[in-house]
């Protein structure tokens, strides 16, 4: 499987996926840092990690679904464009294996993107002289939550990108996901869990609430987060299985 994932990465040469990811992360983090800098300028006592993490998780709701859609689309549409399905299948490559390799490759790219995100957050904290030490646990939980949401979103995007030649549908779904991810906190709590994009901000390790006119940032209890991650991974697995089953049965 590692060989198959490596081959998928090899096939991504000159697809500018790395550059696209860095650009998206750059825009998102630029936005997050600008907002945080303005907030710190107004309230110097809020110069801490929690607001930055909450802001990043919230912006992930907007950017991450689009980023996932772009990455999945880039890796899947090269098979449609070059008419390579027949080539691969006539070489006895199992479609299930190819499906898994593409999934693994996108997951790896987005994991690296999450790591870059965490690293630049640490850099921002250091530059702005946050007094507390780097909250490894909170940043690790942010990374885990984002990745759990990514795994489910990749599964859905891959199903669409593999099944349909026209990638416009997949990219539209990504944008719709971005809108839902951004607005999810405004949805009633009963329907919010139905949208996989809502988990980007839903799994944020830091919650924000208003106490009077003051915005407060509170670290969430890990115990409430774990069942949500479990549920999300289960949904992702179901979507992945359904997509793989469907795509494997399509005739070329």
Partner 1 sequence: MQAIVSTRGLSKRYGSSYSVENIDLLVEEGEIYGFLGPNGAGKSTTLKMILGLAQPTEGSVTVFGKELAKHRRLILSQTGSLIESPSYYGHLTGLENMRVVQRLRNVPGSHVREALKIVRLEQQQNKKVSQYSLGMKQRLGIAMALLASPKLLVLDEPTNGLDPAGIGEIRELIKSLPQRLGMTVLISSHLLSEIEQIATSVGIIHQGKMLFQGKLDRLRNESHPTIAIKTSRNPMAHSLLAAQGLTPILQDGFLRLSHLTDAQVARINRELLAADIDVLRIVEHKKSLESLFLELTGKERSL
Q: Give residues in contact with partner 1 (CB under 8 A).
A: 3, 7, 10-11, 13-15, 78, 81-93, 251-252
Collapse the DSSP code of 155 into the 3-class scheme (helix H, G, I; strand E, B; otherwise coil) and give the result: helix
The nearer residue to partner 1, 3 or 42, going by C-beta atoms, is: 3
Q: Is 239 exposed, middle or buried (0-12, 13-18, 19+ CB in 10 A)?
A: buried
Q: Dihedral (C-alpha) 41, 43, 48, 49: value to the nearest 10 degrees?
A: -80
Q: Which is nearer to partner 1, 42 or 86 (CB)?
A: 86
Shortest Cβ 106–partner 1 spacing (Å): 17
User: How far apart are the C-alpha atoms of 100 and 244, rounded to whole Å?
Assistant: 8
* Cβ at position 81, least distance to partner 1 in Å: 6
Of 88 and 183, nearer to partner 1 (C-beta) is 88
Helices (H) and strands (E) in the chain, counts: 9, 2
Q: Can you tell me whether residue 94 is helix, strand or coil?
A: coil
Minimal distance, residue 154 CB to partner 1, in Å: 21
Q: Phi and psi (nearest 5°) for 211?
A: -115, 95
Asked if 222 and 239 touch (Cβ cutoff 8 Å), the reply is no
Q: The tokens of 129 are what?
A: 């002289």
* Terminal-to-terminal C-alpha distance of the chain: 23
Nearer to partner 1, 16 or 234 (CB): 16
Q: How far is the CB of 20 from partner 1 (least distance, A)?
A: 14
In the complex, minimum distance from the CB of residue 9 to partner 1, in angstroms, rounded to a whole number = 11
* Least Å from the CB of residue 27 to partner 1: 24
Nearer to partner 1, 14 or 42 (CB): 14
Name which of 18 and 230 has its Cβ closer to partner 1: 18
């Amino acid at each position: 499987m590692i060989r198959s994932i490596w081959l998928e990465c090899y096939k991504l040469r000159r697809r500018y996926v790395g550059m696209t990811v860095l650009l998206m992360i750059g825009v998102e983090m630029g936005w997050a840092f600008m907002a945080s800098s303005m907030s710190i300028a107004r309230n110097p006592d809020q110069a801490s990690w929690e607001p930055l993490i909450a802001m990043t998780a919230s912006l992930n709701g907007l950017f991450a679904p689009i980023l996932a859609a772009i990455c999945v689309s880039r890796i899947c549409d090269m098979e449609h464009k070059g008419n390579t399905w027949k080539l691969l299948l006539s070489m006895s490559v199992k479609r299930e294996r190819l499906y898994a390799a593409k999934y693994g490759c996108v997951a790896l790219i987005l994991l690296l993107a999450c790591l870059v995100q965490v690293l630049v957050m640490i850099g921002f904290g250091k530059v702005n002289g946050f007094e507390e030490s780097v909250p490894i646990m909170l940043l690790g939980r942010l990374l885990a939550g984002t990745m759990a949401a990514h795994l489910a979103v990749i599964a859905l995007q891959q199903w669409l990108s593999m099944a349909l030649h026209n990638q416009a549908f997949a990219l539209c779904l990504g944008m719709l996901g971005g809108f839902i991810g951004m607005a999810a906190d405004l949805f009633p709590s009963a329907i919010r869990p139905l949208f996989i994009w809502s988990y980007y901000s839903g799994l944020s390790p830091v919650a924000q609430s208003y106490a009077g006119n003051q915005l407060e940032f509170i670290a969430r209890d890990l115990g409430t987060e774990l069942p949500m991650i479990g549920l999300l991974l289960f949904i992702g697995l179901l979507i992945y299985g359904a997509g793989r089953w469907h795509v494997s049965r399509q005739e070329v």
